[in-house]
Amino acid sequence: MRKSREETARTRRHIVETGAVELRRNGIAGTGLVEVMAAAGLTQGGFYRHFDSKDALVTECLANALDSLRASIQSAAATRPGRAGVLFAIDSYLSEAHLKSESGCPFVALGSELARAGREVRDVASDAFLKLVDVIAAHLDDVGPVAAKKEALVLLSTMVGAMSLARLISDGEVTAMLLAQARKSLGRQVREGAAASRRAK
């Protein structure tokens, strides 16, 4: 049953992609290899032809998921120039669709588990976060790059925090209010950001 190199590579990519979804749905500890392989249409036995360990899979799936997040924020921001792009990216992130999504932000879906993860996993998460900061900061082009980065750090903190809390709150009305309020407040911050930053100097 040996497969061609091309098909092997395709299978591997497929495992990573379905694994990236399963991991965000059930968490790192809550996701089994049998489950990931089954979701990819395979049996558990073949897993170790592609990866050294569960940890190696987690690292790759996380990198994949973080890349999706960056791509999605980047393309949302790219629809409008400067701060308007950031506003749009924020509204997309803090949407009901993202709230219910099973392939959303890994910082929300895996946040507390990532903090306890090994060196390699945390490095992947850290690097991806800094890239995300740069994506946002690049759109805050009416202040200096350092000020833009600092501003982006705080915007992302609120985004991740609001979505994390929205996910765990069981009362749908509060959830909706929280997201709406975060969008509103970040909107104000982003619009007034340049002025506030200037004032702060």
Partner DNA sequence: TGTACATCAGTGAACGCGCGTTCACTGATGTAC
Q: Which residues are at the interface with a second copy (CB under 8 A)?
A: 26-27, 29-30, 107-117, 119, 122-123, 125-126, 129-130, 150-151, 153-154, 156-162, 164-165, 167-171, 174, 177-178, 181-182, 185, 188-189, 196, 200
Query: Do the beta carbons of residue 67 and residue 26 sit within 8 Å?
Result: no
Contacts of 164 (CB under 8 A, 6+ apart): 108, 111
Q: Taking Cα atoms as reference points, which of 75, 86, 30 lies closest to residue 54?
A: 30
Nearer to DNA, 65 or 140 (CB): 65
Q: Taking Cα atoms as reference points, which of 4, 111, 18 lies closest to residue 60?
A: 18
Q: Which does 113 bind (CB under 5 to 8 A by kind): DNA, a second copy, none?
A: a second copy
Q: Which does 5 bind (CB under 5 to 8 A by kind): a second copy, DNA, none?
A: DNA
Helix (H) or strand (E) holding 132: helix 119-139
User: Rounded to an integer, what distance in angstroms lies between the CA atom of residue 15 and that of residue 33?
Assistant: 10
Tell me which of 33, 39, 169, 176 binds DNA, using CB under 7 A.
33
Minimum CB separation of residue 20 from DNA in Å reads: 15
Residues 152-191 that bind DNA (CB under 7 A): none
Name the DSSP letter for residue 46. Answer: G
Burial 5-23 (b: 16+ CB within 10 A, else e): eeeeeebeeebbbbbbbbb
Query: Does residue 49 interact with DNA by CB under 7 A?
Result: yes
Query: Does residue 44 interact with DNA by CB under 7 A?
Result: yes
Name the DSSP letter for residue 47. Answer: G
Nearer to a second copy, 11 or 158 (CB): 158
Residues 4-23 that bind DNA (CB under 7 A): 4-8, 11-12
Nearer to a second copy, 73 or 108 (CB): 108
Query: For binding to DNA (CB under 7 A), which residues are involved?
Result: 1-8, 11-12, 31-35, 37, 42-50, 53-55
